[in-house]
Amino acid sequence: MDSLAVTCESRPGVPEALTVTQLARVIRDTVRANPILSRILVRGEVSNLQRAPSGHVFFTLKDATAQISCTLFREDAEMLGFDLEDGMDVVVSGDVDVFPRRGSVQLLIKAATPAGVGAFWAAYQKTRKKLAAEGLFDAARKRPLPSFPRKIGVVTSEVGAVVHDIVTILRRRYPIAHIVIAPALVQGPEAPASLRRALAFVADRVDVVIVARGGGSLEDLWCFNDEGLARAVAASRAPVVSAIGHETDVTIVDFVADVRAATPSAAAELVSPDATELMARINGAGRSLVGEIHEALRGARGRATALRERLSPRGLQRGVEANRALLERSFAALSAVAPREVTRQRERLDALGRRLDVLSPLATLQRGYAIAEREDGHVVAHAADVGSGDALAVRFQDGRIRVHVNQEQEDHDRRIEL
């Protein structure tokens, strides 16, 4: 950047004034020229970590009494071999530099190695594993959000942009809903208890609850990792939407909540249907219903007209004439078919009769044979079946005669007396 020329009247014994840019450059050149600040090793805890779409990583390195901003460019980040996370205790290697545009000092990280886990991170992991083992993070216990909530609860700070953004979006998208705001502390040691009280107050009065806070460092968001608050969210009667920090900020409450939103504004959109869209859908459904009613009326009117026409004298006459014509056609068809069918059936009966005559006992009688029968009509088939003195009837082709059996002859040579 070109230096800015400042014209001023020089006075004896008074040095010429520097521009801000000149001063910033002097500081930057001094820092860069100091070998102590080049490839320096620094140990601290990672906080407020943010990943840019470009791949660069920005975070704060801190200890108990101080902090410094750090930048890790994409090329160096890809060479780390592990993912930086909030709360990690690391040793970094880099160069101290000054950014004149913002007048800030930063540490340009070239390499980093884990040096341990910070107290915040250790507590976070302990609580997360404990609640996960109890099933509080399971998807099966997550409840769906109501499609048309009548009352929407908001648990957040009563001041700031978060509550304003949520209320603005809810009133724009779904003005018929009643908004219940439960103010609570969202930062500091007293925040977990304040959040639990606010959630208990609102959960029984609404259909869905938004628990929200703006972005911040790990310490700022630490109250949302409180185990007691996480259990209160899990036990809430109304479904809970968490909207805490930025999309990259993840807390225990996010795991337990029924739905997690990337931002407070996104949470407001999740719990509220769009009134404009609903109105368009209702109007469309109304137009469709009116069209279907008109179509049904046209169909009913057409059927009524047809029925009236059929029941009129002229319609009845046409019906009678049509039925008469049908009967005449049917009669003509039957008249043509009936003689042929009668002849066919007669021929069939004649053939059956001839077959029966061949098998009939009467045909045997006509050839000169006779049939012996008992008085009850049963045919005598064997001589052994007849005893002396039995009365029989002998059937000829032209009649019957009664006879008695005389057994004075030898066996099987019996005399019959007429």
The CATH number linked to 64 is 2.40.50.140
Is the model more confident about 363 or about 127?
127
* Domains contained in the chain, number: 3
Q: Please check whether residue 258 lies inside any domain of the structure.
A: yes
pLDDT at 408 over 60: no
Q: Please check whether residue 143 lies inside any domain of the structure.
A: no
Q: Please check whether residue 294 lies inside any domain of the structure.
A: no
pLDDT at 3 over 50: no
pLDDT at 249 over 90: no
Is the separation of the CB atoms in 91 and 75 below 8 Å? no
The model's pLDDT over 254-301, given as tens digits with 9 standing for 90+, comes to 999 999 999 999 999 999 987 677 777 777 778 788 888 888 888 888
The model's pLDDT over 324-338, given as tens digits with 9 standing for 90+, comes to 888 878 877 777 777
The model's pLDDT over 164-179, given as tens digits with 9 standing for 90+, comes to 999 999 999 999 999 9
Hey, is 58 helix, strand or coil? strand
DSSP for 210-278 reads: EEEE----TTTTGGGG-HHHHHHHHH-SS-EEEEESSTT---HHHHHSSEE-SSHHHHHHHHS--HHHH
Q: Please check whether residue 129 lies inside any domain of the structure.
A: yes
Residues 117, 128: Cα–Cα separation, whole Å:
15
Residues 187 and 216 in one domain: yes
Residues 127 and 93 in one domain: no
Q: Please check whether residue 237 lies inside any domain of the structure.
A: yes
Is the separation of the CB atoms in 289 and 163 below 8 Å? no
Tokens representing residue 132 in the block: 């996960």
Mean pLDDT of the chain: 82
Domain boundary among 273, 298, 333: 273
Least confident among 61-70, 212-221, 407-416: 407-416
What integer pLDDT is reported at residue 69 of this predicted model?
93
Is the model more confident about 398 or about 177?
177
Q: What is the mean pLDDT of residues 29-54?
A: 87
Residues 91, 46: Cα–Cα separation, whole Å:
10
Residues 55 and 131 in one domain: no
Residues 127 and 97 in one domain: no
pLDDT at 363 over 50: yes
Q: Please check whether residue 142 lies inside any domain of the structure.
A: no
The model's pLDDT over 134-149, given as tens digits with 9 standing for 90+, comes to 999 999 999 999 999 9
Residues 100 and 207 in one domain: no
Domain that holds residue 371: 363-417
Residue 165's CATH number: 3.40.50.2300
Is the model more confident about 380 or about 6?
380
Least confident among 87-96, 192-201, 294-303, 404-413: 404-413
Is the separation of the CB atoms in 76 and 111 below 8 Å? yes
- Cβ-in-10-Å burial (0-12, 13-18, 19+) of 329 comes to exposed
Tokens representing residue 33 in the block: 């020229």
Residues 195, 203: Cα–Cα separation, whole Å:
12
The model's pLDDT over 121-137, given as tens digits with 9 standing for 90+, comes to 777 888 899 999 999 99
- Cβ-in-10-Å burial (0-12, 13-18, 19+) of 409 comes to exposed
Domain boundary among 240, 273, 306: 273
Domain boundary among 220, 246, 273: 273
Residues 158 and 77 in one domain: no
pLDDT at 65 over 80: yes
Residues 107 and 227 in one domain: no
DSSP structural state of residue 39: S
Q: Please check whether residue 323 lies inside any domain of the structure.
A: no
Residues 97 and 162 in one domain: no
pLDDT at 116 over 80: no
What integer pLDDT is reported at residue 384 of this predicted model?
76
* pTM listed for this prediction: 0.50
Residues 94 and 224 in one domain: no
Q: Please check whether residue 315 lies inside any domain of the structure.
A: no
Least confident among 3-12, 20-29, 130-139, 351-360: 3-12
What integer pLDDT is reported at residue 136 of this predicted model?
94
Residues 377 and 245 in one domain: no
* pLDDT band at residue 152 using 50, 70 and 90 as cut-offs: very high
Residues 131 and 91 in one domain: no
Residues 168 and 89 in one domain: no
